[in-house]
Every structure is written in C-alpha cells, then in structure tokens.
Amino acid sequence: MDRAYRLVRQAAAHGSLSATDQLRVLGRDQFDKRPWLEQIHLEPVAESPPIFVVENFLPAPVCDWLVERALRKGMRAALVYTSDGQKGIQPDRNNTISGFVKTEGDLVVQLVSRRIARATGTPLDNHEPLAVFRYTRGQEYKPHFDFADPGAPEGGNYADESARFGMRMATVLVYLNDNYEGGETSFPRLSWQFRGRKGDALIFWSVPIGGKPDRNSLHAGKPVTSGAKWLLSQWIRQKPFPLG
C-alpha cells in the first residue's frame, strides 16, 4: 500500500493529472490509511437471503471522487439480457452506467475493490469490474435476480456464461450521494427496502456459499422521484472472472 502511494506521488510530480487527482483522496503529503484499514462492521438484516448493512463503508471524499471519475469516463445506457439472449436496452432498466476495468491503474479504485473483498471474504479474482450507476428522475430497475434465472427466456444465454464464471453469488452496493428522493433498494419478497446514506453499503448474497440460488433475493431499484441517485455496484462470481 505504501509503495503504491509513493508511485502515485512520483507520477503526480512528473505531471500526471490522474495521479494528482488521486492524491486529493489519498492525501497530498502523507497517505491517510485510516479509511482503508478501519474495521468493517456487518449489521445483519435478513437470513434468506443473507443481507448486511455497513455504515460509513467509504468516506464521502471517495464517494465524490468515484462520481467524478464515472462522469469523466462517460455514462452509457445500462444493458440487460433480452428475450433473444443478447444484451440490449429494456424498459425494465433505464438507468445509465460507467465502469472501471479490473486492470484500472487508479490506486483509489484498487483500494475500494480490496475493501469490498475484505467485507465479503471473497477473492478479487472473482469480482466483476466495478460499476457506477446513475438514476435520474423516473429511472428504475424493476424486480430482478442477479443470478441467472433458469425460468426466464434469457436464462439460457446467461446460463452459458455462468457455467464458465459461476453465478453472481453476492452483490455489494455503495450509496455515493444523498441529494435525491426515492430510489430505495427494495426486496419485495421480504417486504423490506433500504436507502443508504452517502458512503453506506448494502451487501446481499443471492447464492449463499455452498447453497442454491435464493429466490428471496429478488430486488429492485425503485424510481427516483427527484435529483439523481449515484450507486457503486460490485457483483461477485463463484469463479474467477476475466480482467476486461
């Protein structure tokens, strides 16, 4: 960690704008390790599926930095598997998305990924690339499963992918802002919903380790009624996932 920070400082000294930007979060003169080494307290919410809340999982400056980085990288329409087995735009999901590849050089992104790995006890190799979602007024993601639903028309295509990389067994959502209304994460089969404060994390296991898909993990992003909701998402597979 210290060596990586020194490399970022060296890059900033040589004029790297990306490195200079990272130092706003990491510390310009000294590496502030506290946000990354703090104990992670998982507050249990439900057993089926296993759901946990972590307050103050990421500090506010990191949340702001992730939103800024997503905007600079560019937002695009979020895709889902369609009935013909291809990825496309569907009315069930109308938000926008930006992402970070797993080989991203930014130390901030790497530290976020490692904190998620600690919270879930999962290897980084099994993590999909981090994604940032934006939901503006009226945008939502209707009830869905994160694992491949065998009964859905598109399940066959996703099932092929799952055979290679495993199913999405866990999901980590980190709420990156507060200034919006609506947009709760809802679990209709539990009659429970959650809206985190800036920096809070929601962790749930759609496929508990050693278990079968839990259909109580059906969840939705409810419509935003005002402002824009920003959310960091990390899907975790049962097997290693490609670097792309």
**Three-class SS of residue 113?**
helix
Helix axes 107-120, 17-26, angle to 10 degrees: 40
Give me the mean pLDDT over the 108-119 stretch: 96
Flag whether pLDDT at 72 surpasses 70.
yes
Q: What are phi and psi of 162, to 5 degrees?
A: -65, -30
Residue recorded with tokens 């909701």: 229
Per-domain boundaries in the chain: 1-32, 39-237
Q: Out of 2.60.120.620, 3.40.50.1100, 3.30.590.10, 1.10.8.870, select the CATH number for domain 39-237.
A: 2.60.120.620
Phi, psi at residue 145, to the nearest 5°? -105, 150
User: What does each C-alpha distance from 119 to 11, 43, 52 come to in angstroms?
Assistant: 30, 11, 10
pLDDT of residue 211: 84
Please give the order of strands across the beta sheet that includes 192-194.
141-144, 219-221, 185-187, 192-194
Residue 243 pLDDT > 80, yes or no? no
Mean pLDDT over 104-128 rounds to: 94
What's the average model confidence in pLDDT over 147-154?
A: 61
Asked if residue 207 has pLDDT above 70, the reply is: yes
Which tops the pLDDT comparison, 86 or 242? 242
Element (DSSP H or E) covering residue 52: strand 50-54
Which has the closest alpha carbon to 167: 33, 44, 49, 22?
A: 49
State the Cα–Cα distance between residues 28 and 77, nearest whole angstrom. 35
Is 171 or 93 the better-scoring residue by pLDDT? 171
The per-residue pLDDT for 213 is: 93
Could you list the beta-strand ranges (E) of 121-184: 131-136, 141-144, 168-175, 180-182
Please tell me whether residue 92 adopts helix, strand or coil conformation.
Answer: coil
Residue 191: both structure tokens together: 């009659």
pLDDT over threshold 70, residue 84: no
Whether 80 shows a pLDDT value over 90: the answer reads: no
Q: State the greatest distance between any 2 C-alpha atoms of the chain, in Å, as a whole number.
A: 55
pTM for the predicted model, two decimal places: 0.92
Q: Please say whether the beta carbons of 68 and 98 come within 8 A.
A: no
Which range, of 40-54, 77-91, 200-214, averages the lowest pLDDT?
A: 77-91
196 in Cβ contact with 229 (< 8 Å): no
Q: Which residue has the tokens 């060596």?
A: 3
Higher per-residue confidence, 152 vs 206: 206
